[in-house]
Every structure is written in structure tokens, then in C-alpha cells.
A = this chain, B = another copy of it.
Amino acid sequence: MTSDLRTGGPLLSDTAFLLARANANSLTAAHAALGEHGLRVRSYTVLALAVSEARLSQRDIAEYLRLDPSQVVALVDDLQQRELVAREPDPNDRRAKVVVATPEGRRIHARAEAAVAAAESDILSVLDPGEQTTLRDLLFRLAFPD
């Protein structure tokens, strides 16, 4: 770049722009870390919810990940074909299907989680530990503003 735009350049006072660019950096690192585990960010997050004890329906997953329910169908289809998750009937609502991880899904997730954590740690290393905690708190409030 001709001049150094990092001091006073356009859009730099725009939090939304900084958020988008920081997220792009984060996504690139996460995809690189997940590639060798056969996952993408989307499928990794769905798998992570399936591993949790929350027993979420596809609708819950869609809301939590801010995805359209029809996208969750495709993501779960893929993970189910690879036998990493299963659809279980919800005894309280016969319309709903609870997405749970298989033992193999848990194994893949454990390895992928470690890789993602390492990549995230690397990305966040430009901040000291206290700043990392502050950032997580502030982002949580923007992520779940209700």
C-alpha cells in the first residue's frame, strides 16, 4: 500500500468494519486449523453443539448459530452421513429432532477443538490476558444483546 493507512485511514473509526476484518482474520485461521480434521467452521460449530449436553433441536441450533433452519438441515445431513452426529426423536415434541454426536463425532470434535483453540490463541496473542477477557465480555454482549 502506498501510504500507511493504519493511522487515520478510512473506516478505521467504524467498529463494524473492524469487527468484520477481525472476524475475517479469525475465520481464515479457523478454517486452516479445521481443514485437516475434515471440517469447516459451520460444520465444526454444529458438531460442537451436538457434543454438548444441551440436547438441542435443529431449530435451537439455527437460532444459536444464526443460521436459517434449512441450512442446518444440510449441515446435519452432511455430518450424519459421515456418522459424526445422529438425529434422535424428541419425546416431548414429535416434530423436533435432537442432534447428538456419535462417539466418533466426539473424537473428531476433541481434536478439532484443540486445533481451533490453538489457532484462536495465536490470533489473540496480540492482546494480553486481561484484554482477551475484556474482549470476550464485550463481544458476548454484542453477540447476545437480549
Q: Please report A residues at the B interface, Cβ cutoff 8 Å.
A: 1-3, 5-6, 9-27, 30, 41, 45, 48-49, 51-52, 54-57, 60, 63-66, 116, 120, 123-124, 126-127, 131-132, 134-136, 138-145
Contacts and interface: CB of A to CB of B under 8 A. Distances in A.
A57 B5 CA distance: 13
Per assembly, the copies of the chain total: 2
A144 B24 CA distance: 11
Main secondary structure of the interface of A (DSSP, over half): helix
B25 A145 contact: yes
A143 B5 contact: no
A135 B143 CA distance: 13
Contacts of A65: 21
